[in-house]
């Protein structure tokens, strides 16, 4: 039995390897992407510098300029790290009819999608996220604590990846009904970027808006792991609460996306791909 299980896993890991190779062949594009991100950082640096310069106090909503920058830089790193093009690949696979072939493969389609993207996750973890994290830590001379919270952080990131993946997968399946991939994808990107706290820290949101956002899964993608990493005032029980919430969302999102997938699968068979 164990043999069989490891064989099953190998099947998925070969997908990981394939997607690593594909990623590496775009090294030049990665260089441009890095420069693009640097320019983005420069822009937001000056923007927030100007914002804080215009403010009467140094601390706004419990965050200094320093805190905000660390938050936004890491949010960007996290965003690049978790960025996957699942909506596109599912949408396009559906439109070309390719998806019918994927269904024949002896794999669960959702798991297949996840592992086919996992190489991307691994690569970007080492090429973007980790270097950014180290650089930020060195520049800020310990602007965030590195201790037991790292373990919680890693756990939290993994949960965030799964939630992010499920959101993407769910939105990808929406494309079965809409014949538009671009429109659906851009809506998802906008909603996630805004409501997850990736473009402005949630601390700046007006109270009522923040209450609503806290009841949505999106803040569990960026805000939760970043909070664990940056906020020095958290205690063990806070960590556990945050992660508990994430686990709750993981369960909900997996459930919802799987149900939605199983319902929508019929469209493929009806359309004949």
Closest separation in Å from C-beta 186 to another protein: 4
| CB of 110 or CB of 199, closer to another protein | 199
Q: Is the dihedral of CA 177, 221, 164, 37 positive or negative?
A: positive
Distance CA 15, CA 115 (A): 6
Kindly compute the dihedral angle of the four CA atoms of residues 176, 97, 19, 251, in this order, to the nearest 10 degrees: 30
Residue 40 lies near another protein (rule: CB under 8 A) = yes
CA 36, chain centre distance (Å): 19
State the Cα–Cα distance between residues 47 and 50, nearest whole angstrom. Answer: 5
* 3-state secondary structure at position 60: strand
The binding track of 193-212 with respect to another protein, each residue x by CB under 8 A or -, is xx----xx---xxx--x---
- Does residue number 126 form part of the binding site for another protein (CB under 8 A)? no
Those residues whose C-beta lies under 8 Å from the C-beta of residue 128, and which sit 6 or more positions away, are: 34, 37, 77, 80, 81
Q: Which is nearer to another protein, 45 or 137 (CB)?
A: 45
**C-alpha to C-alpha distance for 177 and 181, rounded to whole angstroms:** 10
Q: Six-digit token pair at 153?
A: 């952080």
Q: How many residues bind another protein (CB under 8 A)?
A: 42
In the complex, minimum distance from the CB of residue 200 to another protein, in angstroms, rounded to a whole number: 6
Could you give phi then psi for residue 62, rounded to 5 degrees?
A: 75, 5
Site for another protein in 13-32 (CB under 8 A): 26-29, 31-32
254 binds another protein (CB under 8 A): no
End-to-end Cα separation, the chain, in angstroms: 35
* Site membership for another protein, residue 255 (CB under 8 A): no
Give the one residue of 6, 8, 64, 178 binding another protein; rule: CB under 8 A.
Answer: 178
Q: Which of 98, 182, 263, 271 binds another protein (CB under 8 A)?
A: 182
Task: Using CB under 8 A, list all residues that contact another protein.
Answer: 26-29, 31-33, 35-36, 39-40, 42-43, 46-47, 49-51, 53-55, 60-61, 178-180, 182-187, 190-191, 193-194, 199-200, 204-206, 209
């Amino acid at each position: 039995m164990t043999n069989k299980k490891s064989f099953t896993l190998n099947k998925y890991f070969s997908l990981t390897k394939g997607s690593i190779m594909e990623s590496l062949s775009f090294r030049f594009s990665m260089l441009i992407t890095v420069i693009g991100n640097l320019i983005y950082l420069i822009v937001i640096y000056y923007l927030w510098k100007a914002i804080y310069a215009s403010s009467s106090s140094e601390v706004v909503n419990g965050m200094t300029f320093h805190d905000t920058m660390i938050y936004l830089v890491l949010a960007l790193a996290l965003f690049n790290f978790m960025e996957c093009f699942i909506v596109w690949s599912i949408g396009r696979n559906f439109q070309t009819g390719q998806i019918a072939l994927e269904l024949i493969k002896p794999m669960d389609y959702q798991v297949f999608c996840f592992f086919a993207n996992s190489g991307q996750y691994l690569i970007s973890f080492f090429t973007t996220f980790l270097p950014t994290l180290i650089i930020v830590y060195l520049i800020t001379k310990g602007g965030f604590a590195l201790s037991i919270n790292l373990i919680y952080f890693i756990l939290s990131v993994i949960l965030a990846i799964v939630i992010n993946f499920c959101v993407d997968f769910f939105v990808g399946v929406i494309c079965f009904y809409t014949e538009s991939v671009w429109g659906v994808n851009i809506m998802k990107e906008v909603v996630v970027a805004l409501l997850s706290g990736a473009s402005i820290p949630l601390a700046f949101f007006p109270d009522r808006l923040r209450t609503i956002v806290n009841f949505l899964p999106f803040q569990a993608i960026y805000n939760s792991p970043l909070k664990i990493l940056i906020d020095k005032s958290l205690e063990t029980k806070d960590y556990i609460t945050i992660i508990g919430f994430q686990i709750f969302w993981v369960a909900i999102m997996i459930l919802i996306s799987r149900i939605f997938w199983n319902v929508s699968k019929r469209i493929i068979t009806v359309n004949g791909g």
